[in-house]
């Protein structure tokens, strides 16, 4: 596959005691037509319904939007129906001109409100390919969680490179890390992610 972007989000390393745990509560994502379809998208926003979140949990959202034409698409905001604060770290944001790989973004909220039932992403340029949203909610034991590190890898090879074996997170400092990846491709479809 050529022109792939792999965003490695070494998010939320948890500086807790050795026996602290992190548990994934839910992982909903958009269907192939929920945020638009190829050639038929007429929106710059998408909302993902989610099961009501628990108090004190943390959440991670990834967004993939294909850029169109001569300008890159920019993810302008990620919000929830409870007015939570979603931070977009610069290390997990990539925007590309044209249809090579488009735009990948992520955001995290370390203190989700109880009862969040919708996550929305907004972008600035109407593209006809649509977008993909992915949300993960986690509960944890211990006092706190924190962002550890983010990074990205862009493969703009003109030949097929499969698999991309050099994509790995660096600079992880926490224990019990949650690592989330978002992959965008200008051609081909990802078949899987391995350790």
pLDDT digits (tens, 9 = 90+) for 129-183: 778 889 999 998 878 888 877 777 666 655 666 666 655 566 667 667 787 777 7
Q: Is residue 192 part of a domain?
A: no
CA distance linking residue 163 with residue 94, whole number of Å: 21
CA distance linking residue 112 with residue 67, whole number of Å: 30
Does residue 171 contact residue 13 with C-beta atoms inside 8 Å? no
Degrees (nearest 5) of the Cα angle 195, 190, 171?
40
Q: Is residue 162 part of a domain?
A: yes
Domains in the chain: how many in total?
1
pLDDT digits (tens, 9 = 90+) for 16-38: 445 568 899 999 988 767 777 66
What is the model's pLDDT at position 96? Answer: 66
Residue 116 domain boundaries: 4-185
Residue 77, φ and ψ in degrees, nearest 5: -165, 155
């Amino acid at each position: 596959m050529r022109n792939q972007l792999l965003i490695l989000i070494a998010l939320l390393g948890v500086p807790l005691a050795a026996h602290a745990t992190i548990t994934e509560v839910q992982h909903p994502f958009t269907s192939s037509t929920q945020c638009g379809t190829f050639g038929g998208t007429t929106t710059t926003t998408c909302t993902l319904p989610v099961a009501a979140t628990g108090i004190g949990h943390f959440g991670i959202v990834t967004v993939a939007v294909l850029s169109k034409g001569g300008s890159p698409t920019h993810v302008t905001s990620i919000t929830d129906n409870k007015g939570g604060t979603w931070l977009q770290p610069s290390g997990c944001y990539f925007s590309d001109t044209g249809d090579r790989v488009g735009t990948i973004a992520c955001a995290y909220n370390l203190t989700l409100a109880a009862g969040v039932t919708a996550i929305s992403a907004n972008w600035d340029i109407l593209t006809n390919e649509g977008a993909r949203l992915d949300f993960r909610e986690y509960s944890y034991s211990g006092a706190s969680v924190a962002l550890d590190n983010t990074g990205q890898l862009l493969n703009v090879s003109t030949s097929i490179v499969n698999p991309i074996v050099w994509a790995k997170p660096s600079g992880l400092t926490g224990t019990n890390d949650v690592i989330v990846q978002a992959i965008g491709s200008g051609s081909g479809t990802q078949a899987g992610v391995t350790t």
